[in-house]
């Protein structure tokens, strides 16, 4: 591997845990306002009728194509997606890229905070207690290969592993940013309130420079949604 490529990967890895700007938890009230973009094609109330798109009440945590009475595209019906934070975030970024062949004409939301707010609002559209949906699918064994190829030059993954250019990533999933002892985090990150979840990891891995404006990372991101899911599945096993 060329030295310049190693440096680029290292910088990207460090930003993964030390970025100066991070996505906070979504705000339901703001998400409700953003959802006004959706009502031209969707109803949002319980029992709402089908319009150009299906009713979206109670959709969070459900499999795709589960709203009765709506004719889904073949691509959507066969996708196997579960509408969790990760899937919603990917879809809202650019629907036609995430599900090629979808009938959805919406171009997507470019602002990461708006996506988080809209997801938070969709999660609230339920009669039940909040759903804790896990990202599906994701193969931890395949994710380990991705980690070795793209992360290991800057991070250790085993319990008690040493700090390299970035902190040890054992147990990082589900933890607040800045939680690894012995690593010199930025003040901005320590005060960000960020937690490494499916949604935040998906955002970073898809496009680091878009998710963290001003990052020095030149890492273009993991282009494959499956590889991103696999990598996150692997991080979840490190506990």
pLDDT of residue 179: 84
Instruction: Judge whether 3-23+138-237 and 28-124 match in fold.
Output: yes
Beta bridge partners of 236: none
**pLDDT for res 62:** 87
Determine phi and psi for 93, rounding to 5 degrees.
-65, -50
What pLDDT score does 113 carry? 86
pLDDT of the residue at 236: 93
pLDDT at 211: 63
Integer Cα distance of 135 and 120 in angstroms: 16
CATH domain 28-124 topology: Cytochrome Bc1 Complex; Chain D, domain 2 (1.10.760)
pLDDT for position 193: 63
User: Is this structure's pTM higher than 0.85?
Assistant: no
**Which of 118, 56, 53, 111 minimizes the C-alpha distance to 85?**
118
What pLDDT does residue 201 have? 80
SS3 195: strand
**In the chain, what are the domain boundaries?**
3-23+138-237, 28-124
Judge: domain 3-23+138-237, CATH 1.10.760.10: yes
pLDDT tens per residue across all 239 residues of the chain: 443 444 344 434 444 444 333 344 678 888 999 999 999 999 999 999 999 999 999 998 888 988 988 999 999 999 888 898 888 888 999 999 989 999 988 999 988 889 988 998 998 888 753 433 344 478 999 999 999 998 888 889 999 999 888 788 899 898 887 788 888 876 665 665 667 788 778 777 777 666 655 544 467 777 787 888 899 999 999 99
Angular region, 195: left φ>0, alpha ψ -120 to 50, beta rest? beta
Residues 6+ apart with CB under 8 A from 62: 82, 83
């Amino acid at each position: 591997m060329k030295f310049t490529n190693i440096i680029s990967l290292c910088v990207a890895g460090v930003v993964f845990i030390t970025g100066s700007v991070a996505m906070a938890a979504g705000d339901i009230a703001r998400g409700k306002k953003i959802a006004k973009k959706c009502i031209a094609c969707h109803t949002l109330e319980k029992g709402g009728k089908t319009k150009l798109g299906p009713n979206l009440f109670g959709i969070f945590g459900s499999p795709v194509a589960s709203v009765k009475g709506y004719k889904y595209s073949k691509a959507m019906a066969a996708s196997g997606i579960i509408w969790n934070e990760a899937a919603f975030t990917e879809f809202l970024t650019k629907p036609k890229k995430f599900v090629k062949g979808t009938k959805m004409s919406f171009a997507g939301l470019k602002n990461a905070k708006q996506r988080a707010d809209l997801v938070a609002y969709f999660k609230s559209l339920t009669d039940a207690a909040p759903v804790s949906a896990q990202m599906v699918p994701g193969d931890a064994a395949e994710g380990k290969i991705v980690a070795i190829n793209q992360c290991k030059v800057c991070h250790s993954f085993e319990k008690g592993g040493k700090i390299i250019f970035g902190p040890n990533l054992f147990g990082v999933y589900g933890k607040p940013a800045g939680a690894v002892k012995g690593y010199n985090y930025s003040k901005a990150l320590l005060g960000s309130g960020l937690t490494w979840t499916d949604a935040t990891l998906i955002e970073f891995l898809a496009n680091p420079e878009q998710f963290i404006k001003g990052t020095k990372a030149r890492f273009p991101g993991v282009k494959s949604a499956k590889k991103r899911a696999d990598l996150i599945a692997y991080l979840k096993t490190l506990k």
